[in-house]
Amino acid sequence: EIVLTQSPATLSLSPGESATLSCRASQTVSNNLAWYQQKLGQAPRLLIYTASNRDTGIPARFSGSGSGTDFTLTISSLEPEDFAVYYCHQRYYWPNTFGQGTKVEMK
């Protein structure tokens, strides 16, 4: 099974600052990786698909990069609504897997 390791576990930042979230796969997943945002009590929301493509309606401050085993989600200037938990998700191999999440919290 592919293990996705996200770091850091928690990011404490202020609005306006930028956030850099990492997701490392135990084997290559090519570019078949997505990023989700989850707010408390809500279902996840897809932000980025195939590593670097923003879904429709996702603000341009969200960007994804990487391929193979190392991926990054960057939020260029945090808005109050961006404080949430972010998960990476690979669909390259069965079973599909999620990372353990990175919580972006307000400092």
Partner 1 sequence: QVQLVQSGAEVKKPGASVKVSCKASGYTFTDYNFHWVRQAPGQRLEWMGWISTDNGDTKYSQKFQGRVTFTRDTSASAAYMELSSLRSEDTAVYYCARETSYSGYYYPYYWGQGTLVTVTT
Nearest distance from C-beta of residue 38 to partner 1, angstroms:
7
Quote the CA–CA distance of 17 and 22 in Å, as a whole number.
17
Nearest distance from C-beta of residue 46 to partner 1, angstroms:
5
Task: Tell which phi-psi region holds residue 82, choosing left (phi > 0), alpha (psi between -120 and 50) or beta.
Answer: alpha
DSSP 8-state assignment for residue 100: -
**Stretch in the footprint of partner 1 (CB under 8 A) among 15-23, 33-41, 57-65, 75-83:** 33-41
By the rule CB under 8 A, 105 interacts with partner 1: no
SS3 call for 80: helix
Residue with Cβ nearer partner 1 (16 or 37): 37
What are the C-alpha distances in Å from 54 to residues 45, 58, 98? 12, 6, 19
- The residue count for binding partner 1 (CB under 8 A) is 22
**Per-residue string for binding with partner 1, 42-71, x by CB under 8 A?**
-xx-x--xx--x------------------
**Stretch in the footprint of partner 1 (CB under 8 A) among 15-23, 65-73, 74-82, 99-107:** 99-107
Quote the CA–CA distance of 105 and 89 in Å, as a whole number.
21
